[in-house]
């Protein structure tokens, strides 16, 4: 580690400096706003080279090294970059957000101050139907006429909630108690600081189709508007090796390998052994694992041996 220059400049990322302070709007009244950052793609490389010492020097160029690190799930060099955001989020979304423990948070206090006078409202075209297949998801939208009624009821309820809260404050009820019936749709604000490794983990989970639409919108804004400019090489590798990658389980691997090396019959036999099919080849039994396998095979253009 000969390179320890006695004079350093701070690392700046000009594309980020341009958006410092800019509020990227999310939902009807939320935002994500970059406050500060530490590091960049080159800090990831720098940290990796401390770990690996002279060994790596010049062998890989930066892009190759960063891609290698993400492909092989090396996490510590990505912890060397840090991002600080100012966000405005409905409390309902914040309940999911705050579950990511490896971050630093200062949230607006409604004990100390009067709550933010804004709730997330749902326009007539945004009301979503309960998904049948996925117990925790939604699927499709209500027709506008029904949506209008839902939005009107929501509006009335928000007005009532604001009035209840203000009445309490005017009477002198303590803020910490007056807030007890604020709807979860009430906006809150926070400073949120996180390292790139934990941020990518957050984004992998929250940009995913299974994440709720609201937090997904925040995650996509953070990813597309900020991280993509901050660390473009890490971002590209993250998309290739995490977001748009998928896994093959031991069972899927063995079925594919059997099919390729020994033929269809052997692959079917494997599937029976693994309990994915009945002995008589009917699929009568419900198997979420088989459903996932078949979907994956179809996406990849494979013949499903038993179909």
208 to each of 58, 69, 256, 257, how far by Cα in Å?
Answer: 36, 22, 26, 29
How buried is 231 (Cβ within 10 angstroms: 0-12 exposed, 13-18 middle, 19+ buried)?
buried
Q: Is 306 in the site for its own copies (CB under 8 A)?
A: no
Rama region for 105: left / alpha / beta (φ>0; ψ in -120 to 50; rest)? beta
Site for its own copies in 157-216 (CB under 8 A): 157-158, 160-161, 164, 167-168, 171-177, 179-185, 189-191, 193, 195, 212
Q: Is 229 in the site for its own copies (CB under 8 A)?
A: no
If the CB atoms of residues 95 and 281 are measured against its own copies, the closer one turns out to be 95
Residue 242 is among the residues annotated as catalytic for this protein: no
Site for its own copies in 13-42 (CB under 8 A): 17, 20-23, 31, 33-39
Q: How many CB atoms lie within 10 A of CB 42?
A: 15
Nearest partner of 65 among 84, 82, 51, judged by Cα: 51
Site for its own copies in 264-293 (CB under 8 A): 288-289, 292
Q: Is 295 in the site for its own copies (CB under 8 A)?
A: no
Task: Give CA torsion, residues 43, 46, 50, 51, to 10 deg.
Answer: 70
Site for its own copies in 127-156 (CB under 8 A): 127-131, 135-139, 142, 146, 150, 153-154
**Which of 106, 123, 125, 278 lies at the binding interface for its own copies (CB under 8 A)?**
106
With contacts defined by CB under 8 A, name the span among 125-133, 216-224, 225-233, 277-285 that binds its own copies.
125-133
Determine contact, residues 128/210, Cβ cutoff 8 Å. no
Determine contact, residues 289/251, Cβ cutoff 8 Å. yes
Q: How many residues make contact with its own copies (CB under 8 A)? A: 134
Q: How many CA atoms lie within 13 A of 14 on its CB side?
A: 0
> Closest distance between its own copies and the C-beta of residue 228, in Å?
16
SS3 state of residue 188: strand
206, 242, 250, 288: the active-site residue: 206
> Closest distance between its own copies and the C-beta of residue 279, in Å?
19
Q: Is 86 in the site for its own copies (CB under 8 A)?
A: yes
By annotation, the residues acting in catalysis are: 206
């Amino acid at each position: 580690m000969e390179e320890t220059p006695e004079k350093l400049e701070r690392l700046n990322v000009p594309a980020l400096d341009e958006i410092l302070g800019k509020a990227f709007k999310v939902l009807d009244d939320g935002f994500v706003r970059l406050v500060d950052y530490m590091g960049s793609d080159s800090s990831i490389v720098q940290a990796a080279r401390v770990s690996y010492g002279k060994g790596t020097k010049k062998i890989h160029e930066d892009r190759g090294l960063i891609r290698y690190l993400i492909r092989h799930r090396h996490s510590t060099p990505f912890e060397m970059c840090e991002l600080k955001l100012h966000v405005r989020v409905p409390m309902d979304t914040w309940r999911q957000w705050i579950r990511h423990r490896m971050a630093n948070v200062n949230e607006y206090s409604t004990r100390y101050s009067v709550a933010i006078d804004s709730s997330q409202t749902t326009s007539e075209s945004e009301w979503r139907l309960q998904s049948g297949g996925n117990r925790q998801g939604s699927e499709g939208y209500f027709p506008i006429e029904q949506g209008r009624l839902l939005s009107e009821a929501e509006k009335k309820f928000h007005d009532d909630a604001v009035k209840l809260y203000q009445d309490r404050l005017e009477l002198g009820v303590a803020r910490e108690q007056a807030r007890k019936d604020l709807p979860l749709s009430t906006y809150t604000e926070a400073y949120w600081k996180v390292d790139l490794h934990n941020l990518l983990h957050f984004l992998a989970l929250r940009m995913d189709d299974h994440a709720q639409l609201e937090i997904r919108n925040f995650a996509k804004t953070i990813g597309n508007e900020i991280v993509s400019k901050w660390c473009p090489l890490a971002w590209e590798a993250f998309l290739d090796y995490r977001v748009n990658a998928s896994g093959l389980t031991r069972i899927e691997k063995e079925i594919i390998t059997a099919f390729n090396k020994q033929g269809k019959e052997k692959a079917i036999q494997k599937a029976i052994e693994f309990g994915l099919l009945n002995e008589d080849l009917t699929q009568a039994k419900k198997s979420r694992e088989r459903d996932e396998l078949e979907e994956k095979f179809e996406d990849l253009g494979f013949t499903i041996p038993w179909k």
